[in-house]
A = this chain, B = another copy of it.
């Protein structure tokens, strides 16, 4: 544990090789943004790209832009950029639909690859949409299909010969606990099952190596650490060895081998392409596509190192300066098992978070009692962390958060 003060924080910033990337983002003055794991900030270049898209491509070229300005290629262009960040081949990733819908596709594919097994296993504390989609699919298929809720930190204990596929979010959205992708994938394969990795809190946060881990499937989110803008489309990964074996059920025309031949029966395209369904929302995709350029030349290992340093600093400071106020660390102290976030339990978590947000320290609250702080090394400094805890300390000492106690309403992701 280091003895942090403002001087030490500023010294750490001066030595930080990632500090220069802050200029790739537009952050509002005075805001300390610890919620990039919910909605990333505006990357430089997005505004200009969207203006060009509206004023030239849509307005002037109209329908011709699908070819002339490569709108048709956006799902793949984005896929290629994300592939590099998650240890996949260029033709194993595509940008399409939402995370929820992509989970449905991947689970459907996995179940067909293990026809003698009928259980989808997923952690009981998994992000709700993961569980819900598994339930929706299982219910739809009927028969003996079911969803088994297992333990996030020890998923293997719940896997037996009935399990066809395990759906795991690598980084728990509440606690930030990060699973060892390589070891767990291996253990799942040893049990004869397949795995779908949800990378919502992984992609863009730290190095991910899907192929190194021999992963089967993955999905992830465009609007969190990838900074693609509100509700940016999601991505989907299928390992090459699985791509052409079965068809996923959302068999839309863009996944057809020849969409513009207008054939009267579905014939799936080869490769990752068969996971595309309808027409893509181009404005939102173009935003994500430019946003990803903020990662150009960024070493994800350096991102992880700085993330761990920022998180360690935050834990140290909250515990040393605010420990008396009842915060209980929800995140592991083991940096190797932690995503890029720190969470604390507090019985008054919601009003305290509202008070922080009112002071421009933006994190978020997750029921029932978690204050969640995301650390995004490309645009956060050590001084930001110092200031965030300073403001938390002021709020707790003054008791001002208490005024908001009875004005609780639903927080938003």
Q: Which residues of B contact A172 (CB under 8 A)?
A: none
Q: Once the chains bind, are B251 and A135 in contact (CB under 8 Å)?
A: yes
Q: Once the chains bind, are B282 and A230 in contact (CB under 8 Å)?
A: yes
* Minimum CB distance partner of A142 in chain B: B141
Q: Once the chains bind, are B28 and A60 in contact (CB under 8 Å)?
A: yes
Tell me the A245-275 residues at the B interface (CB within 8 Å).
Answer: 247-254, 256, 259-266
The reply on A58 being an interface residue by CB < 8 A is: yes
The reply on A108 being an interface residue by CB < 8 A is: yes
Tell me the A29-85 residues at the B interface (CB within 8 Å).
Answer: 31, 33, 35, 38-39, 41-42, 46-47, 50-51, 54-55, 57-60, 62-67, 71-72
Give a binary string over A342-385; 1 marks a CB under 8 Å from any B CB, 0 the rest.
Answer: 00000000000000010000101011000000000000000000
Interface magnitude class on chain A: 35 or more
Q: Once the chains bind, are B58 and A42 in contact (CB under 8 Å)?
A: yes
- Which one, A2-10, A96-104, A235-243, is touching chain B? A96-104
A412 CA to B248 CA in the complex, in Å? 24
Q: Once the chains bind, are A136 and B412 in contact (CB under 8 Å)?
A: no
Given the known inter-chain contacts A129-B278, A410-B260, A412-B72, please indicate yes or no for A250 contacting B104, CB distance below 8 A: yes
Q: Which residues of B contact A41 (CB under 8 A)?
A: 58-59, 62
Q: Which residues of B contact A278 (CB under 8 A)?
A: 97-101, 129, 234
Q: How far is the CB of A350 from chain B (nearest CB, A)?
A: 11
Q: Once the chains bind, are B54 and A38 in contact (CB under 8 Å)?
A: no
- Which one, A201-209, A283-291, A332-340, A397-405, is touching chain B? A283-291
Given the known inter-chain contacts A33-B62, A98-B277, A252-B132, please indicate yes or no for A413 contacting B366, CB distance below 8 A: no
The reply on A326 being an interface residue by CB < 8 A is: no
Q: Which residues of B contact A234 (CB under 8 A)?
A: 278
Q: Which residues of B contact A233 (CB under 8 A)?
A: 281
The reply on A140 being an interface residue by CB < 8 A is: yes
* Minimum CB distance partner of A128 in chain B: B253
Q: Which residues of B contact A100 (CB under 8 A)?
A: 250, 252-254, 277-278
**Copy count, this protein chain:** 2
Give a binary string over A114-128; 1 marks a CB under 8 Å from any B CB, 0 the rest.
Answer: 000000000011011
Given the known inter-chain contacts A62-B35, A101-B101, A367-B262, please indicate yes or no for A247 contacting B139, CB distance below 8 A: yes
Q: Which residues of B contact A280 (CB under 8 A)?
A: 231
Q: Once the chains bind, are B63 and A260 in contact (CB under 8 Å)?
A: no
Q: How far is the CB of A109 from chain B (nearest CB, A)?
A: 11
The reply on A232 being an interface residue by CB < 8 A is: yes
A162 CA to B101 CA in the complex, in Å? 30
A50 CA to B47 CA in the complex, in Å? 9
Q: Which residues of B contact A128 (CB under 8 A)?
A: 253, 256, 259, 262-264
Shortest 8 CB-CB contacts between residues of A and residues of B? A98-B278, A136-B251, A100-B252, A281-B284, A100-B278, A230-B282, A129-B253, A140-B249
Beyond contacts A47-B51, A47-B54, A67-B412: 15 other A-B pairs, Cβ-Cβ < 8 A, are A39-B63, A39-B66, A42-B58, A42-B59, A50-B50, A58-B229, A63-B362, A97-B278, A98-B279, A128-B259, A129-B254, A136-B250, A231-B280, A231-B281, A281-B283
